[in-house]
Amino acid sequence: MRTIIFIFLATTALLYGCKKSSFTTKPQLSFGKQNATELRQGNIITFTINFTDKEGDIQDTIWAQKISRVCTSPPNVQFISPYPIPNFTATPNLEGKLELSFVYNANIPGVSSIVGCTNKNDTTFFRFWMKDKAQNRSDTIQSSDIILIR
């Protein structure tokens, strides 16, 4: 019986030890959530973006871009950033969450404003990507569609 338990524990340790790390030198982004799928003037949308980085040196920049599926002329693509990421002590195998908020067609101090079509409702989505201190760029992630009510 002890031999079976030992073989089981040894096999489990071996399989666990060979597990590939999910942390890479290039920052990895994934969507956590967004708090709305429809916005009216003055509403705020907040995106939660999950990240991982092997070296933990993400203290550079995150970019955001709003792209219209409806408008054929400006503001069909709106670059809303770059946003500097505050400096902090890098730790290996860093993972966490970033929250980015935008207000639709209004001015609120500390919140970036987005605009939609000038004469009709708009359907839009956001793209996000980041760069770390070593100039490694993440892949681009994309939100689900958001309706901007005129």
pLDDT digits (tens, 9 = 90+) for 130-139: 999 999 999 9
pTM over 0.85: no
CATH top class, domain 21-148:
mainly beta
Average pLDDT, the chain: 84
**Which residue ranges in the chain fall short of pLDDT 70?**
1-21, 74-75
pLDDT attached to residue 14: 45
Three-state SS for 8-71 is HHHHHHHHHHCCCCCCCCCCEEEEEEECCCEECCCCEEEEEEEEEECCCCCCCEEEEEEEECCC
pLDDT attached to residue 11: 47
Q: Residue 54 corresponds to which tokens in the numbers above?
A: 């092997």
